[in-house]
Structures are given as structure tokens and as C-alpha cells.
Amino acid sequence: MQIAAYTFGHPLHRPEHAMPKTKARTSDFGSRLTNLRKAAGYTQVQLATELGTTQRMIAYYESRAEKAPAALLPQMAAALGVSADELLGIKPLRKGRKPDTQLHRRLQRIEQLDPKAKRQITQLLDTFIEREELKQRVNAQEASP
């Protein structure tokens, strides 16, 4: 004789009575953090590295956390270029605020280098930009009859 599971045949354990799976709701803080992170040009991994935490924690803060992590709040706000009050939604985001992009952060780091290194990087960038502009002109000429 074969013994069945104790729920076998029980009316509440039929598939049609099962609770539907729902997607976890994003909290207001989580959606605000996601929007600010993307506007700043960070991936979850990059922001986690900047804050000294893991990508998994950033994903948790963005999707499930109802409140901001108190220990990371000042660092998060600084990394995202907003005040803690703006990050928490206490104050609205400043209008006209330019997003702090990854490129902008790199340019700020270049500004801190010694003059010789800055000159070399500038020459490299100028060469690359000229090459790309030349490619665009050639492609435009080839496309036109």
C-alpha cells in the first residue's frame, strides 16, 4: 500500500486555490533610488562598489526596502549628487540639476591629475574625436548620391 502526501485530495491544496504569485512592489524609496542611480549613470554594481556594499544589497534597497539604510544614507546621497532629504523624498529634487554621469565623474578625476597627464589625455581625446568626426563625414558622403 502506497502512502500519499497528507495534503493529497485536500480541497485547499488544489492548484486552482493556490495564491497567485505577485511581483514584489517597489517602495517609493526604492523607485526614487533606482531613478537617481540611473540618472547618475551608475549600474547597481558600480553604485555598490562606490558605497562599499554588494550589488545584491542595492537591488534589495531598490525593490524591497521600505526605508533607506541609515548607515549608507549620507554616502548614497553624495554618490548620487543629491541631498539626503531629496533621496528620502522629504524635499523635491532640485530643478535644473544636471545629472552626474559616469563621463562627468571621469572628467572630474582627470581635472585632478597633474598638467602633463591632463595634456596627454586631452590630446588622446582630441585625436579620437577627430577620427570619429571624419568617419561620420565619410559615411554621410557615401550615403548621399
Cell, residue 45:
554594481
Q: What is the pLDDT of residues 118-128, one digit of tens each?
A: 899 889 988 98
Asked if pLDDT for residue 101 goes beyond 80, the answer is no
Q: What is the mean pLDDT of residues 56-80?
A: 88
128: Cβ–Cβ under 8 A, 6 or more apart, which residues?
Answer: none
For residue 53, give the H/E element and its range: none
Report, as an integer, the average pLDDT of 85-106: 75
pLDDT band (50, 70, 90) for residue 23: very low
Residue 18, pLDDT score: 55
Q: Mean pLDDT across the stretch 32-54?
A: 90
CA distance 108 to 73: 23
Residues in the chain: 145
Better-scored residue on pLDDT, 18 or 95: 95
Quote the DSSP letter at residue 27: P
Q: Which residue has the cell 554621469?
A: 101
Q: Assess whether pLDDT exceeds 70 at residue 104.
A: yes
pLDDT of residue 64: 81
Q: Are 68 and 61 a contacting pair, CB within 8 Å?
A: yes
pTM for the whole structure: 0.55
Q: What angle do CA 46, 120, 41 make, to 5 degrees?
A: 20
pLDDT at 44 over 90: yes
- Gap between the Cα atoms of 124 and 135, Å rounded: 17
**End-to-end Cα, the chain, rounded Å:** 84
> Using 50, 70 and 90 to split pLDDT, how confident is the model at 25?
very low
- Judged against a pLDDT cut of 70, whether residue 17 lies above it is answered with no
